[in-house]
């Protein structure tokens, strides 16, 4: 499998769609059945071969750093009490020692493009993965599928894509593209949150990106766009060689309470019948 050395996690957002649940708990740490959203994202990055995880966070969300820190006292206590299954769960929730964990702060909510740009000084050589943790992907690890499908040189971006209803296109980056048989389809363009009347399609970008490092150069010069924010979509569009990716898993929008409920039920089913592939149902 082609590996993605660096994966960036924009986690600075205030999670207003999930208040009051997110008043004191970052939305990325909300549980989906038995596991915080963030853990699914970290596992997906590791499955894509990441050697460095860059979290673009906010000083008020220090619980995320705390979650990722090793917990020797907790582990020792569980070991002493012989609670081996819980000990394993805690150990599985930590990042392997040979993987770097880097935190950078985004103090102002200046947009997803601005958030991703904060990671620019911390990239290892090679294409860069981006995971938006509130888009939860279950089934075959999405970012690893994308790392495999990414062709450096031919592609400057490869973005997970999903059809959405017409009345939802104004919540997403929308591709100008006609998907064919192949998993990766070249797109003529990508527009951020278009009006349904102007949208080039109903194919939406959903929370997983593989980016050529040149997208970061473009981001430095990207002016604020939709909503007055610096948009990742705009930098991807002006870098060109955009590709939409049809992933094989199932996506859950966990930025809203109903999405968390749906995801929780799906994970419950997975835990109770691990052999079942939720994505295939």
**Residue 173 within binding range of ligand G1P, rule CB under 6 A:** yes
What mask, x for binding ligand G1P by CB under 6 A, covers residues 208 to 247? -----------------------xxx--------------
Angstrom distance (rounded) from CA 32 to CA 187: 33
| Nearest distance, CB of residue 43 and ligand G1P, angstroms | 19
List the interface residues with ligand G1P, window 87-106 (CB under 6 A). Answer: none
Taking a C-beta distance cutoff of 8 angstroms, is the pair 155, 241 a contact?
yes
Pick the binder of ligand G1P from 37, 112, 128, 143 (CB under 6 A): 112
- What the block records as the tokens of 161 is 């894509």
**Residue 30 within binding range of ligand G1P, rule CB under 6 A:** no
Pick the binder of ligand G1P from 137, 138, 142, 204 (CB under 6 A): 204
**Residue 130 within binding range of ligand G1P, rule CB under 6 A:** no
Taking a C-beta distance cutoff of 8 angstroms, is the pair 117, 221 a contact?
no
Taking a C-beta distance cutoff of 8 angstroms, is the pair 188, 110 a contact?
no
Please state the length of the chain: 281
Tell me the residue number closest to ligand G1P, measured at CB.
173
Pick the binder of ligand G1P from 135, 145, 212, 234 (CB under 6 A): 135
Taking a C-beta distance cutoff of 8 angstroms, is the pair 188, 178 a contact?
no
Measured from the CB atom, the residue of 64 and 235 that comes closer to ligand G1P is: 235
Look at residues 110, 17, 112, 96 and name the one whose alpha carbon lies nearest to residue 50.
96
**Residue 129 within binding range of ligand G1P, rule CB under 6 A:** no
Angstrom distance (rounded) from CA 195 to CA 79: 56
- Which residues, in sequence order, are bridge partners of residue 36? 31
Q: Which residues bind ligand G1P (CB under 6 A)?
A: 112, 132, 135, 172-173, 192, 204-207, 231-233
């Amino acid at each position: 499998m082609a590996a993605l050395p660096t994966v960036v996690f924009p986690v600075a957002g205030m999670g207003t769609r999930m208040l009051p649940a997110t008043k004191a708990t970052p939305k990325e740490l909300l549980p989906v059945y038995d596991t915080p959203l963030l853990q699914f994202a970290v596992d997906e990055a590791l499955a894509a071969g990441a050697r460095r995880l860059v979290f673009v966070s906010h000083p008020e969300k220090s619980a995320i750093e705390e979650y990722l820190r090793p917990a020797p006292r907790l582990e020792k206590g569980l070991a002493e009490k012989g609670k081996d299954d819980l000990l394993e769960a805690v150990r599985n929730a930590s990042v392997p020692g040979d993987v770097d964990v880097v935190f950078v702060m985004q103090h102002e909510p200046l947009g997803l493009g601005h958030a991703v740009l904060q990671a620019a000084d911390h990239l290892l050589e090679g294409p860069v993965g981006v995971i938006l943790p509130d888009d939860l992907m279950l089934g075959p690890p999405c970012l690893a599928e994308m790392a495999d499908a990414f062709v450096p040189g031919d592609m400057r971006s490869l973005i997970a894509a999903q059809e959405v209803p017409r009345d939802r296109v104004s919540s997403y980056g929308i591709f100008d593209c006609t998907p064919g048989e192949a998993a990766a389809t070249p797109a003529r363009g990508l527009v951020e949150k278009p009006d349904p009347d102007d949208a080039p399609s109903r194919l939406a970008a959903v929370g997983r990106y593989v980016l050529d490092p040149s997208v970061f150069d473009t981001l430095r010069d990207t002016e604020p766009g939709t909503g007055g924010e610096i948009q990742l979509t705009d930098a991807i569009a002006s870098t060109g060689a955009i590709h939409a990716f049809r992933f094989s898993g199932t996506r859950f929008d966990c930025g809203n309470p109903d999405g968390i409920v749906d995801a929780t039920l799906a994970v419950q089913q997975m835990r109770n019948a691990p052999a079942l592939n939720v994505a295939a149902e």
